[in-house]
Structure 1
């Protein structure tokens, strides 16, 4: 069985490694001419860490990331609302890791090239169309290196080419643009003094107005009093301000800084962190409606191509890794590729779509908005603002959006 994976992101590269481990021939194509370490930070939840450990990547992953120990939420004045342990501290078998997305992609790429061979990934090849024949798929690609059209044959095609998936557009040509929820995100990395435990993820505010997320990508070492911190600023905007959903789009500091100028949370000066970040990326919070079907005979979808979701539960990349492991298991379990893809979809589509809808609901944000309404000038004790049931609702919301299946 020969499988063509479209897209060399986290999902596509993990798929190639998983197929290879299952004894299935896999090749990857990507439309970019050169794979650069793009993006900023990413969180891998324990279920994704365990899946990568099955591929023998845990030691490399641990060397690149920070094992997150807790999540702490504050109001914009720095008053603590809620906290809970994460990863090993929460009783999971594997850590939750925070690391640079580019480093994660690079370690996956190195593993693919080392295990599958230097020709396993072809860059500069953009998927344009596919024709299913009786026992194979003919794929048409634009070869940006030669400026010509090429044709590739495979037994199975897996579209792992992200939010703007060419494979998804081929299967659903009338779908249209991604859905925007009115929130714009600015992202960046900066060096700053360690905050809280040094392995804590910090959240402040709410998506009703403005929210800040920050977590370290490195740990402090003796004699070094700074760490690299990833931050995400989320601001609700006018509905006509969506802009293009491109991860590499550069944003303007003046558009985001006024929302955070006076925020000082757990020793973190939000304005200073935002101001010292270069580049600063801007992106609308978008997803797509859940699909009723991913697989069409020998073609299927995976990761953001199948189920793009809001980054509410730090689960997008983790869900793509689970997809990768499941599609390899499905194909390895049968000699019939169509049956293998059907098994994969049966295992993954319903649960992944449920996470999409849970993230769209942003359940924990209703309680956080209540804090802002009841205590607009801050508070001394959160118990004076929220009941025990309301506090539990925050944790319940995070668990819904951090599903492990």
Structure 2
């Protein structure tokens, strides 16, 4: 069996490693001329960490990541609302990791080239169309450098090419643009003093107005600082959506006013923003869940199949679970079409449920209550939220952190 994977992001590269481990011949193409370590931080939930460990990558991952010990919510004044242990501290078999997305992708890419060969990933090539006939798929691939096209013969075609997936557009040509919820996100990294345990994820404020997420990406440097990944989320329903492109740069002047005088758990948010060299801007978008991913010998994976709001640290983790399930299904089924049907049966309903749970944002509804009931802060959270309302935060994370 031969598989062609379109897209060499986290999902596509993990799929290649999983398929190769299953004894399946796999090639990848990516439209980027060069696969560079782009982006900022990403979180991997324990089930995704375990999947990468099964591919022999845990030691390399642990060397480049921080094992997250807890998640703590605060209001905008720095008053603690709720905290919960994460990863090993919560009793999971594997850590939850915070890692630079570019480093994770580079780790996966190096493993693919080492195990599959230096030419396993063809960059500068984009998917154009495909035809399935006589039990095969003929994919038309364009070389972006000279715009020539060639036909690639394969048993299975996997679209792992992200939010703006060309393979998904081929399968659903009338779908249209991604769905925006009115929240604009800015991201960046900067050096700052360690906060809380030094391995904590901090969330403050509410998406109703302004929210801040911050977590370290490495241990302390010689000067005592740690690289901190931050995500600012601001409700901007009256502005234009703008391009959903993670390479798009943003302006500090658009962000800073929302976080003036925010000092949370020893972290000076204003100073963190000011120390950031490059700010990335992105609208919080997703797409409606699909009724099917697989058509014969063509299927979707990761953000191409189920793009979701970044709630519960789930986007990359779900893509990794897709990749493992795809390889297992194709290994067990003699007929590739049967394998893709089994893969979809194992993953689509679960992933679509996470997409819808993320839209519901149950945690943020509770945080909004805090802002409404205690607009100037509080002393005891029990005076602001009932036990049931506090429990809703934990329950919300469980719904948005599917493990299968």
TM (normalized to structure 1)? 0.99
What displacement does 1:241 show?
2.2
Which residue matches 2:47? 47
Q: Is the aligned partner of 1:4 residue 2:13?
A: no
Q: 1:336 maps to what in 2?
A: 335
- How far is the alpha carbon of 1:224 from its aligned partner? 3.2
With 238-247 and 48-57 compared, the bigger mean Cα shift is at 238-247
**Helix, strand or coil for the counterpart of 2:13?**
helix
- Within a 5 Å distance, the mapping from 1:64-75 to structure 2 comes to 64-75=64-75
Tell me the distance in 1 between the aligned counterparts of 2:33 and 2:397. Answer: 38
Q: In the alignment, which residue of structure 1 is the partner of 2:139?
A: 139
Q: State the SS of the aligned residue for 1:29.
A: strand
> How many angstroms does 1:147 deviate by?
2.7
- In structure 2, the residue matched to 1:327 is 326
Q: Secondary structure at the match of 2:211?
A: strand
Deviation at 1:318, TM superposition (A): 0.1
Structure 1 match to 2:377: 378
Aligned equivalents of 2:128, 2:67: Cα separation in 1? 40
1:5-404 equivalences in 2 (<5 Å) = 5-220=5-220, 223-404=222-403
Query: For this pair of structures, how many residues does the alignment match?
Result: 404
Quick check: 389-398 or 163-172, which moved more?
389-398
Which whole-Å deviations, capped at 9, do the CAs of 1:73-121 have from their partners, x for residues lacking one? 0000000000000000000000000010000000000000000001100
Aligned-partner Cα distance in 2 for 1:192–1:89: 24
Consecutive unaligned residues of structure 2, counting only runs of 5 or more, are none
Question: Distance in 2 between the 1:115 and 1:141 partners?
Answer: 24
Distance of 2:202 and 2:145 partners within structure 1: 44
Deviation at 1:134, TM superposition (A): 1.7
Deviation at 1:141, TM superposition (A): 1.3
Q: CA shift at 1:199, angstroms?
A: 0.2
- More displaced, 272-281 or 96-105? 272-281
Q: Please, which runs of 5 or more residues in structure 1 have no aligned partner?
A: none
- Alpha-carbon separation, structure 2, partners of 1:367 and 1:139: 48
Q: 1:145 deviation in Å?
A: 3.0
Q: CA-to-partner distance for each residue in 1:221-278, whole Å, 9 max, x for gaps?
A: 5x43100000000000024421110010000111111000111100111111111112
Q: 2:321 is paired with a residue of what secondary structure? A: helix
Deviations 1:118-156 (A, max 9, x none): 110000000010011121111111102333111111000
Distance apart, 1:48 and its partner CA: 0.1
Q: Partners in 1 of 2:146 and 2:281 — Cα distance? A: 33
**Partner Cα separation in structure 2 for residue 239 and residue 331 of structure 1:** 47
Provide runs of 4+ in structure 1 moved above 3 Å: none
- Cα distance in 2 for partners of 1:298, 1:3 equals 10
Alignment RMSD (CA, Å): 0.7
CA distance in 2, matches of 1:43, 1:224: 25
Q: 1:170 & 1:26 partners in 2: Cα distance?
A: 21
Equivalents in 2 of 1:41, 1:2: separation in Å? 33
